[in-house]
Amino acid sequence: MHYLVVSYSHKNCDIATREKLAFNTDIQSKILKEFDKNPYITEAALLATCNRVEAILVTKDTADAQNFVYNIFSSNSDLDKDELEGRSEVFEDSGAVKHILGVASALESVVVGEAQITGQLRSAYKMAKEYNTCGRKLTKLIEHALRCAASVRNETEIGKNPVSVSSAAVVKAKDLMGGTLYNRNVLVYGAGEMAVLAVKHLVQAEANIVMIGRDYNKTLEIARSLGEKIKVATAKELPKYLNSYELLFSATGAPHPVINNDLVEAKEFHRYWFDIAVPRDIDGITHTNIDVFAVDDLKGIVESNLELRNSEASKAFKVVGSMAEEFYDSLKVENANPVIKLMRKRAQSAAKNEIARAVAKGYINKEDEKNVEKLVHNAFKKFLHNPTVTIKEYMRKPEAEEITNTINLLFKKEEA
């Protein structure tokens, strides 16, 4: 069995491609079901965020599994299979392990250290569990990755003062508005994770915030949890605020643009709109006094923050490297289990046969048979303890395969 990750992210795909791969939960569940049917894939999880889509798999054959991923992603998006194959980053076995640990620890995010991805991986894991596509090997990997993320947070300051795409948008807005958003009127369209992050940063900037979400009552509940002064408006009031406020942060979960020229009235004042959704919320705006900034336009701010985090990132990568080695070691030790089971099985079988023969010949009373079995079992257990420990130690060494083959050969010959 092999670990395999097929990855599409901000590193190898532009925003237009990522929009087409922004699978909703219905499509995610559909793809998981398809993975489950595939004869080459034994376990599967699907991580789908605004900046990343990854198939995390345990496979019998990596080449056939990759080909299936390209086909299934193509059939559930508007992307050609050849383009998907050309754009993909593929990680196998040890590379896949290290990659997933890095992703979970937010070292592969648009903004290094942004902890949001850890929760998203946990959600992907939960969905895979719900659809019974996550078995022992994938469980072991993802749970180790989540522990790695916790270690990175605890042992470094990479997540201190975290910067997300949402906060990068607020930083850009501050810059455009003279360095402060104090008492500025701001509309936030959306009530999901990205919108909530934007609101949190806007609250800290002491802006006057109006939130609009699809569900008014749910948005009102969210707004109350974020700040007493946040106002909530209905979706019908969207044009009113679009055409009266200078600043808009849009982050809905809509699969297509929801703000276009039809909603916009010509105004003399300048407006700055931040589209932090993937797929994009804003499209086709032709008014000259409206500047629209999408996710990719915020990369400059993101990159400047990356420079500030380089020293902490190097520490974090060391943690990931160490925990990846720990994971590899645990896999090697697991390889010893079949050999150890074989030795114990042969010992137990030999003991039972000899005890049965002794009972049949009258050397041992029938009523004493169980006690003798326990005695012999304990003797073999003690006898095999040191060999067991030694075998597990040697599984970490280059000669592990040779030792395993030798033990298998010895005991299989004994069976014959």
- 8 and 157: one domain? yes
- 42 and 86: one domain? yes
The CATH number for 205's domain is 3.40.50.720
- 17 and 150: one domain? yes
Does residue 297 surpass a pLDDT of 60? yes
Contact 195, 222 (CB under 8 A): no
- 79 and 217: one domain? no
Residue 276 lies in a domain: yes
Does residue 159 surpass a pLDDT of 80? no
Residue 146 lies in a domain: yes
Question: Mean pLDDT over all residues of the chain?
Answer: 88
Residue 33: predicted pLDDT: 94
The CATH number for 14's domain is 3.30.460.30
Residue 142 lies in a domain: yes
Residue 319 lies in a domain: no
Question: Of the residues 275, 301, 327, which one is the last residue of a structural domain?
Answer: 301
Residues catalogued as catalytic: 50
Contact 309, 113 (CB under 8 A): yes
pLDDT band at 394 (very low <50, low <70, confident <90, very high): low
- 66 and 175: one domain? no
- 156 and 169: one domain? no
Domain that holds residue 261: 165-301
- 90 and 192: one domain? no
Residue 269 lies in a domain: yes
Q: How do residues 78-112 score in pLDDT, each as one tens digit? A: 899 999 999 999 999 999 999 999 999 988 887 77
196-199: which pairs have CB atoms within 8 A and are 24 or more residues apart? 196/222, 196/226, 197/116, 197/164, 197/166, 197/167, 198/166, 198/167, 198/169, 198/170, 198/249, 198/251, 198/274, 198/276, 199/223, 199/226, 199/227, 199/230
Does residue 211 surpass a pLDDT of 70? yes
User: Is 0.85 surpassed by the pTM of this model?
Assistant: no
- The better pLDDT of the pair 273, 401 is held by 273
- 295 and 360: one domain? no
CA distances from 339 to 52, 119, 378, 403 (A): 40, 38, 19, 10
- 215 and 341: one domain? no
Length of the chain: 416
Q: How do residues 223-233 score in pLDDT, each as one tens digit? A: 999 998 999 99
- 110 and 215: one domain? no
Residues 248-256: what's their mean pLDDT? 94
SS3 string, 253-320, reads: CCCCCCECHHHCCCCCCCEEEEECCCCCCECCCCCCCEEEEEHHHHHHHHHHHHHHCHHHHHHHHHHH
Residue 343: predicted pLDDT: 73
Residue 117 lies in a domain: yes
Residue 236 lies in a domain: yes
Q: How many domains is the chain built from?
A: 3
Does residue 401 surpass a pLDDT of 70? no
Q: Is 44 helix (H, G, I), strand (E, B) or coil?
A: strand
Q: How do residues 116-149 score in pLDDT, each as one tens digit? A: 889 999 999 999 999 999 999 999 999 999 999 9
- 284 and 372: one domain? no
Residue 130 lies in a domain: yes
- 96 and 145: one domain? yes
Residue 360: predicted pLDDT: 87
Question: Of the residues 93, 128, 161, which one is the last residue of a structural domain?
Answer: 161
